[in-house]
Amino acid sequence: MQPLVSLAITPLAAAKRITATDTSAAVDISDFTGVCRFVLNSSALEGASQTSDVKLQHCDTSGGTYVDSGISFAQITTAGGASFQDLLRSVDGLKKYVKVVNTLGGTSPAVTFALSVIGKKANG
């Protein structure tokens, strides 16, 4: 019988409604190790011809200059409705801090979304 693996979940962007491009606060993910699941939960966009592009940026220091991490989700469009996406990615190559960037497009865009990481922590 396989032992249960203790997993941790950390919100990277708490659920909130945004009406313009948004960047989350920095989150320290240095305790996570190996392959983790990044989970995006998004409402439908409010209006016609709108888009939402969600990606992670990373940096060695919380107040430093962030660059794209290579982790991004499929574009959410008005036609697609609500979206639940998850990605399996290794965190071993990521820097200590990450931010979630949600770039909105279209006229008067609005969406509610949240993003979390689930995985094994090196110390647990």
Domain of residue 100, CATH code: 2.60.120.1110
Q: Rounded to an integer, what is the distance from CA 42 to the centroid of its chain? A: 11
Q: How many CB atoms lie within 10 A of CB 13?
A: 23
Residue 45 lies in a domain: yes
Q: Which domain holds residue 81?
A: 14-121
Q: What is the pTM of this model?
A: 0.92
Tens of pLDDT, residue by residue over 26-71, are 999 999 999 999 999 999 998 888 999 999 999 999 999 999 999 9
Q: What is the CA radius of gyration of the chain?
A: 15
Helix/strand/coil for 79:
helix
Residue at 116 is within a domain: yes
Look up tokens 């399996």; give the residue: 88
pLDDT above 60 (res 1): no
The reported pLDDT for the residue numbered 81 is 85
Q: What is the pLDDT at residue 123? A: 73
Q: What is the pLDDT of residues 79-106, one digit of tens each?
A: 778 999 999 999 999 999 999 999 999 9
Is 3 within the bounds of a domain?
no
- C-alpha span between 1 and 10 (Å, rounded): 28
Q: Is residue 71 part of a domain?
A: yes
